[in-house]
Chain A
């Protein structure tokens, strides 16, 4: 079965507001990575976490291996934040990250 459950599948935000994306894991993961799909279809690395939290500008991510989840918080959303966001996680000793199904974010004025 799926090891990574990503939610929500779609999210609509007004410009200037914020929200959180979440990935729940059905097994203990060693690390998680968050990506955004750019307009050309490639994946841009946002964060890599083995534990704790990281912050970059208006984005903040957290990873709790014990509680089996990771979050990506977006604050003060801008129009250019629109896109599809993916989490990918891997269990210990496994070189194969498992991707969530993605969250399609639309930021509108």
Chain B
């Protein structure tokens, strides 16, 4: 199975409420990424896990949290959603060996009202 799965596919959240997005892959990939994608913009890297090490981007450090309890699973957590969080959230994974390709999941479309 060479797919990256994301749940839910669509999420409606209220301002100020928490949001938890889930990503999984069974390819035994070392690295898992979370991107935020807004219309007419390049995907913006939020954070990534290399094995068990979490790397968060400086400008999103306090806004997003993540956990990776095992190799296959990675979550993205927003403690208090704001209107500006409305976007597509893309999860990707990357093997540690061989062709160094990123594989993207189908995305979760988050709408904050």
Report the interface size for chain A: residues with CB under 8 A from the other chain: 20
CB–CB B45/A96 < 8 A: yes
How long is the Cα–Cα vector from A101 to B31 in the complex, in angstroms?
A: 23
Q: How far is the CB of A103 from chain B (nearest CB, A)?
A: 11
B62 lies within 8 A of chain A by Cβ: no
> A42-B107, A43-B43 are known contacts. Are A88 and B102 too (CB-CB below 8 A)?
yes
CB–CB B104/A43 < 8 A: yes
A2 and chain B: residue at smallest CB distance: B42
Summed over the interface, the residue pairs from A and B with CB atoms below 8 Å come to a total of: 52
User: How many B residues touch the partner, as a band?
Assistant: 20 to 34
- From 82 to 113 in chain B, residues with beta carbon under 8 angstroms from any chain A beta carbon are 88, 90, 92, 94, 99-107, 109
B70 lies within 8 A of chain A by Cβ: no
Can you list 15 A-B contacts (CB < 8 A)? A33-B101, A33-B102, A42-B90, A43-B43, A43-B90, A44-B104, A45-B103, A48-B100, A50-B100, A88-B102, A95-B50, A95-B94, A96-B45, A101-B42, A102-B42
Q: Which 4 pairs, one residue from A and one from B, show the smallest C-beta to C-beta distance?
A: A99-B42, A43-B104, A48-B101, A41-B88
Residues of chain A touching chain B, judged by Cβ–Cβ distance below 8 Å, are 31, 33, 35, 40-45, 48, 50, 86, 88, 95-97, 99-102
